[in-house]
Amino acid sequence: MIRASVFLAACLAASTAIGTRPAMAAESPFEPGLMRLAEVLGSLHFLRNLCGEKGDQWR
């Protein structure tokens, strides 16, 4: 549970840091897709810990 709390705190810190940075002149076209993928994988990792999964194999 502590690991999940640390992960959540890191996500919150990262989201506030990203929200305050100035906009870049030209962003790459694939960046929004990569950001969405990172959000989904992070959510799966968090929910997996909540469900009590102890193994390190992704299904």
Q: Could you please report the per-residue DSSP string of 4-37?
A: HHHHHHHHHHHHHHHHHSPPPSS--TTHHHHHHH
Domain assignments of the chain as residue spans, ordered by start:
32-59
Task: Render pLDDT for 26-55 as a digit per residue (tens, 0 to 9).
Answer: 768 888 899 999 999 998 888 887 877 777
- Taking 60 as the threshold, does the pLDDT of residue 6 lie above it? yes
- Taking 70 as the threshold, does the pLDDT of residue 58 lie above it? no
pTM: 0.45
How far is it, in rounded angstroms, from Cα 31 to Cα 2? 30
